Chain A
Amino acid sequence: MKKIRIYVHVPFCESKCSYCDFASFVCGEDLKQKYFAKLVQEICGCKYKDREVQSVYFGGGTPSSVDEKYIISVMKCLRHNFTFSNNAEITIECNPASESLDKLKKYRELGINRISFGVQSLNDNTLKFLNRRHTKKDAVEAIKDAQKAGFENISADLIIGVSESQEDLIDSAKQLLNLGVKHISAYMLQIEEGTPLYNAYQNNNSIVPSEDYCVGMYDRLVVFLTERGFCHYEISNFALPCYQSQHNLGYWRLDDYIGFGLSAHSFVDGVRFANSNNFNDYFEDKNITREVLTAQQKIEEKIMLGLRCQEGVSIKDLLNLGYDIMTNPNLSNFVENGIIILQKNGKTPDKITINPAYYGVSNSIIVKLLP
């Protein structure tokens, strides 16, 4: 049976964070109702129902911000239309401010087995700067509630590059680990055009620390988490053994996935397509973009995504796509300088990975390894 992963987009939030440029909206119940009705309809009409679901991911937005009845309806619809594999990973993103023990219990009953909390920081000043709705206390409580509700696989997001000290960041991480969090996603703050933060930054560049300082934050976090037994399995993701996000690994391994909802992206049989990010278009199935990957693009994606991960890119896979990466002179140069690690299977080179010390500049490395 062919396999598939499912992403469900919940584009609603209770408030907009200062740095957010995702398809997420603060809006009324009517629209939510209409949206989830459409979502269910979209799932029912899906062409790939014959596939076995490996993982489901509710992302947003803030999936936890909507009434749990909507999540229930979606989950029921998914189960009704698809076969799930036994150990399917089902994740929901939660905002520490919008959870309740009751809600978490309901999620657990639905078979959701992984929670990703948008903690960002356990420093109240930082949270305020980001215009997050929760406090440190809320975050700590949320994680404890999730554990009470029976969740063991808990992930927390951390943000890097806000005006806090490197110590503050490590302190947040330390507390999360002490709480029993099994997975950390750490993102560098991106100042995107059109966000309130962007405007503030234009007026005053010093509202965020220097690039070097941010990289220092990242480096310290990497050291801290590795020392605590976390594996750095992707540029911005860390997990205790066996707690890697299977769903996200799927993206980087180029597994097929289907996205439901506003602006949701899918990748099936070498074709990428995406729903519109406009509600009206989405409701009428308009403006769906579709891109059949060329051989060149397949190679590009393979390298770009594979090198983000500790497991790297298989040289043979690239050969099968028609690219002998070993002939790229930049590769030998990188290997010589310890930037790229050549993993060998016996005597033959098998995989290439980026030396984690160079993750920060992965883009520049990847660009030079493309065919």
Chain B
Amino acid sequence: MERLKKIRNFCIVAHIDHGKSTLADRLIEKTGTLAKRDMQAQLLDSMELEREKGITIKLTPTKMNYTFEGVDYELNLIDTPGHVDFTYEVSRSLAACEGAILIVDASQGVEAQTLANAYLAIDNNLEILPVINKIDLPSARPEEVKQEIEDVVGVPAMHAPCISAKDGTNIEQVLEMIVKEFPCPKGSETEPLKALIFDSYYDNFKGAICLVRVFDGTVKVGDKISMMQTGKQYEVTEVGVFVPSAKAVDVLRAGDVGYIAGSIKTISDVAVGDTITHSANPCKEALPGYKKVQPVVYCGIYLVDGSKYNELKDALEKLKLNDASLEYMPEVSEALGFGFRCGFLGLLHLEIITERIEREFNLDIITTAPGVSYLLHKTNGEVLEISNPSKWLSPVEIAYVEEPVVKASIFTPPEYVGAIMELAQEKRGISNGLVYLDKTRVRVDYTLPLGEIVYDFFDSLKSRTKGYASFDYEMAGYMQSELVRVDILLNGEKCDALSLIVHKDKAYTRGRAIAEKLKKIIPRQLFEVPIQACIGNKIIARETVSQMRKDVLAKCYGGDITRKRKLLEKQKEGKKRMRQFGSVELPAEAFISILKLDNDE
């Protein structure tokens, strides 16, 4: 049989928690790619954080060998993230595949991201194989869910394997269907090399590594290659496949999924979506590639210990190596000193990056409240894009403001529709209608300001629907809005890192809540510290941290001196976690605390 006919490239897409990584593990185990003793739960989630949070962040390809009806097949699986923040990464992996397994939880049915990811796969002309997972659950209703997939997603699902990835039930059937249902790659080894970079990561020894899907031609060590978009040229030092750890091979051919290393010094030279070809014999045109992804959520990242600025810069650079979607640029805050304004794909992405900075680089950081990027139309006709509230203009200069909005679809059992509508209303949502998918599921559509989603939409949605609702959104341009900047004054001085942009109707309550929260967080100091929230010059809330009266009036004689000095040294150490703002000392938590208002209130 022709070589290409024995290759299947596919990915797994699903709503978060429907079991992508568990199925991936079972496939690897079943095909004997790894011995059972080498297996650890969620094998492909190699980051500590991924395993801990039970989510997949990075794409991880794996090559498996599978024998069906006497023929040895090569199956290349690309695991994908399920969280809405990482939709972009999903779409990248889709372009490297011919088929997608669409996992649906047998009890939960179709969820928001099931649909979003299924549509992405359809848009990429992928063959879709629905798989019903978690049939071991007592609440499983596989037949209904199959019907739901046909009705809601619109792909045939009656033949879908019903499996339990956890127990290993019916995994064989999935493997068979991969071979039977998914088309084999097209392409030719004799054509000039054409390989798509669908991801990259940085290896301390080998440099930047390109994860590629070869569409045409072959590539081997020693080949001179060039990146069609950036024009950069390299000599290949290694090619290989993932089994699932990286393993060097002699050559990668059309249809293969693997990696190429070429002593590429910086990851920024590797543009994901770029096409690799031979320098001497280039292909005629590059693959379509990807749209550059735009960050949607921004926050400032600063250090508790300002002297480690270079270490933070280093950390961001290293993280960027493996995460092209992370954006950052230097910024200075009066309150926090030197730091970076960083752009993220969403709140989870932000959370992951900040956690990684703290864990992997051992840096104590202060993050400012996440916000979005606004369009400020000036009275003189100029338009500014502003993601840092402290750059906001004075009201007289602003003609009007536009804020980014999203089209959100919320999937929910009907009993929570009321609660969701109420929430959406609070979040300034505009209803786009309501669709009954079947007896048990409703899709509620809203246009919502992204800024409101960033704030605490997920948590509120989860708590108000007892976790039954799922949510997906896509960016939907900008909308004119009446927004104002709320400033926080400490001891009469504006603390730039605490400013935030709020809708005018909410400014008063938000300002008051922040002032109250800060009063709880700022310790008593040598001076009385007035906390004021204001819009422009108008004060909308005021609280006071009363003066500290006593820290110690204890005695200190011969036997107390050593102990006392040590105590003092410890206190001095503790001061390092405090930020000096004018004469006010602010604990690092103050800056994050203003985000967490609604959870307490």
Interface residues of A (CB under 8 A from B): 7, 59, 160, 185, 187-188, 190, 211-212, 214-215, 218, 235-236, 248, 251-252, 257, 259, 263-267, 272, 274, 291, 297, 300-301, 304-305, 308, 333, 337, 339, 358-368, 370
* Complex A-B: 14 CB contacts under 8 Å: A185-B555, A190-B554, A215-B550, A257-B558, A267-B558, A304-B564, A304-B565, A305-B561, A360-B551, A361-B549, A363-B551, A364-B548, A366-B568, A367-B571
A194 to chain B, nearest CB (A): 15
| A337 near B527: Cβ-Cβ < 8 Å | yes
Task: Decide: A363 and B552 in contact? CB cutoff 8 A.
Answer: yes
Q: Are B553's CB and A364's CB within 8 A?
A: no
Binary CB contact string for chain B from 541 to 567 against chain A (1 if under 8 A, 0 otherwise): 000000011111111111101101100
Q: Does B291 reach chain A (CB closer than 8 Å)?
A: no
Enumerate chain B residues within 8 angstroms of A366, measured Cβ to Cβ. Answer: 568
A362 touches which of B527, B552, B565 (Cβ 8 Å): B552
Question: How many A-B residue contacts, CB cutoff 8 Å?
Answer: 97
CA distance A362 to B564 in the complex (A): 12
Tell me if A300 and B569 are in contact (CB < 8 A). yes
The complex places the Cα of A235 from the Cα of B552 at a distance, in Å, of 10
Assess A214 versus B550: contact at CB under 8 Å? Given A274-B562, A367-B568. yes
User: A214 — nearest CB in chain B belongs to which residue?
Assistant: B550
Closest CB in chain A relative to B306 CB, distance in Å = 15
Are the CB atoms of B559 and A363 closer together than 8 Å? Answer: no
Contact of B575 with A by CB under 8 A: yes
> Residue on B with the closest CB to A157?
B555
Please determine whether A265 and B551 come into contact, CB atoms closer than 8 angstroms: no
Closest to B573 in A: A367
Q: Are B558 and A265 neighbours in the complex by a CB distance under 8 Å?
A: yes
Q: Is the CB of A267 within 8 A of B561?
A: yes
In the bound complex, CA of A266 to CA of B561 (Å):
10
Residue B526 at the A interface, CB < 8 A? yes
Q: How far is the CA of A263 from the CA of B563 in the complex (A)?
A: 13
A201 to B174 Cα, complex, angstroms: 66
Known: A215-B550, A363-B571, A364-B525; 6 extra A-B contacts, CB below 8 A, are A187-B555, A267-B558, A297-B565, A358-B526, A367-B568, A370-B568
- The reply on B37 being an interface residue by CB < 8 A is no
Say how far A187's CB is from chain B's closest CB, in angstroms: 5
| With known contacts A257-B558, A267-B561, A339-B526, A300–B568 Cβ distance under 8 A | yes
A263 to B562, CA, bound (A): 13
Q: Which residues of A contact B562 (CB under 8 A)?
A: 265, 272, 274, 291
Asked if A259 meets B558 with Cβ closer than 8 Å, knowing A363-B571, A366-B568, the reply is yes
Are B551 and A361 closer than 8 Å at their CB atoms? Answer: yes
Q: By the criterion CB–CB under 8 Å, are B565 and A360 in contact?
A: no
Smallest beta-carbon distance A268→chain B, Å: 12
**CB within 8 Å of A: which of B555-601?**
555-559, 561-562, 564-565, 568-569, 571-572, 575, 583
B553 touches A187 (CB 8 A): yes
- Identify the 4 closest CB pairs spanning chains A and B, nearest first: A188-B553, A215-B549, A363-B551, A265-B559
